[in-house]
Amino acid sequence: MARKARFDMQQFFQALGDNTRLRLLNLMGEREVCVCYFVEILGAPQPKISRHLAYLRNAGIVSARREGKWMHYRIVMPPHVGATQILRQTLDWLEEDKAMQSDRARLTKACCSPAKYDLEGAPLPAAVSEQCCEAC
Amino acid sequence: MARKARFDMQQFFQALGDNTRLRLLNLMGEREVCVCYFVEILGAPQPKISRHLAYLRNAGIVSARREGKWMHYRIVMPPHVGATQILRQTLDWLEEDKAMQSDRARLTKACCSPAKYDLEGAPLPAAVSEQCCEAC
DNA sequence: GCAATATATATGCTTTAACAAATATGATTG
DNA sequence: CAATCATATTTGTTAAAGCATATATATTGC
């Protein structure tokens, strides 16, 4: 099971070339988010979410961390400066998009009242680096 | 036949998610290049080249100009700042890649002695903005 | 000047592989 | 056993490659 030799540019862009995956990246941003939140916010079947997260993980764009029953996903910057800048630019671009803004707004709402979103007891999204979640 | 309403992010990344198309973009860079050069440098069947160029054109990343028998392709910056920056960054990234450098080197060589590359009479690549081709 | 032809490029068609969605099932943890 | 998430399977769609052919322009012969 050899690790990937070099960062695969083609695979990187293919991973970005799907709207569901763009929505997932948009929801993560600088935070670490639990799978159950993705399912709830996107309103998509859980296997679909898992598969797209696996695709992103395989492309080296996100990483997963287990915490008990829950899996947390976060964006990891690729091991290449160019890819990192492209990814950042992409996230900026997503922020301007109406639909993406709506997704993030719903996530914020769900964070503040998880019970209403069938997210009782689920771990809240948390900022990955230093600052805490500005909404909650 | 309605024109595309907005710039399609998914389609944009899908267009970048193919190695042949990345090679084509790499060869264009700031120049306008004739199809026959692509065919010669990539060593691929002409229909394959044409089809990938059509894909890029459809995604709004390149434009075509006819000059007699020949078709010239160039990169056009997308109507969105984010996409433009990503495209530029991608081109910078390509410049660092060994295989891409080799492609560009062969293009330069072919420019300087078209006869050796079965490119007799074909129009040379030309810079799109102001400066002339630095190699020829 | 016009028909025939050659050159450059695009498109149609077929096969095959990748991928997305949906459903069912398996694995891990509490 | 329940909850969370991942994976297997099937099906339909997209897309890539290869081959043949069509289109557009230029050139040649008469």
User: Is residue A136 assigned to a domain?
Assistant: no
The CATH number given to whatever domain includes residue A51 is 1.10.10.10
Chain B positions touching A18 (Cβ under 8 A) are 10
Q: Which residues of B touch A93 (CB under 8 A)?
A: 9, 80, 82-83, 86
pLDDT digits (tens, 9 = 90+) for B104-113: 999 999 878 7
Number of domains present in the structure of chain A? 1
List residues of B whose CB lies inside 8 A of any A CB: 9-19, 22, 80, 82-83, 85-86, 89-90, 92-93, 96-97
In angstroms, rounded to a whole number, what is the distance separating the alpha carbons of residues A116 and A118?
Answer: 6
Task: Report the SS3 class of residue B88.
Answer: helix
- Listed in sequence order, the DSSP H helices in B29-80 are 35-42, 46-58
Q: What's the domain range around B35?
A: 9-110
| Tens-binned pLDDT, residue by residue, of chain A (136 aa) | 444 557 899 999 999 999 999 999 999 999 999 999 999 999 999 999 999 999 999 999 999 999 999 999 999 999 889 999 999 999 999 999 999 999 999 999 887 776 666 766 767 677 776 333 344 3
Question: Is residue B48, in this structure, part of any structural domain at all?
Answer: yes
Q: What is the pLDDT of residue B29?
A: 95
Indicate yes or no: CB of B97 within 8 angstroms of CB of A16. Answer: no
As for the ipTM of the complex, it is: 0.88
The model's pLDDT over B45-77, given as tens digits with 9 standing for 90+, comes to: 999 999 999 999 999 999 999 999 999 999 999
Please write the tens of the pLDDT for every residue from B40-49: 999 999 999 9
Residue A71 belongs to some domain of the structure: yes
Residue A123 placed within a domain? no
Whether CB of B18 is under 7 Å from strand D: the answer is yes
Which CA-bearing residue is nearest the C1' of D2? A69
What is the rounded average pLDDT of the residues B96-121? 85
- Does residue A49 belong to any structural domain of this protein? yes
Q: What is the pLDDT of residue B70?
A: 93
What angle separates helix A98-112 from helix A81-96, to the nearest 10 degrees?
80
B120: exposed, middle or buried (C-beta count within 10 Å: 0-12, 13-18, 19+)?
exposed
- Residue B131 covered by a domain: no
In a domain, B17, yes or no: yes
Tell me the nt nearest to A20, Cα to C1'. C20
In the prediction, which pLDDT does A132 show?
Answer: 37
Interface test with A, best of B16, B26, B84, B95 (most A CBs within 10 A): B16
* Range B27-32 average pLDDT: 95
In a domain, B24, yes or no: yes
Question: How long is the CA A135 to C1' D13 vector, in angstroms?
Answer: 40
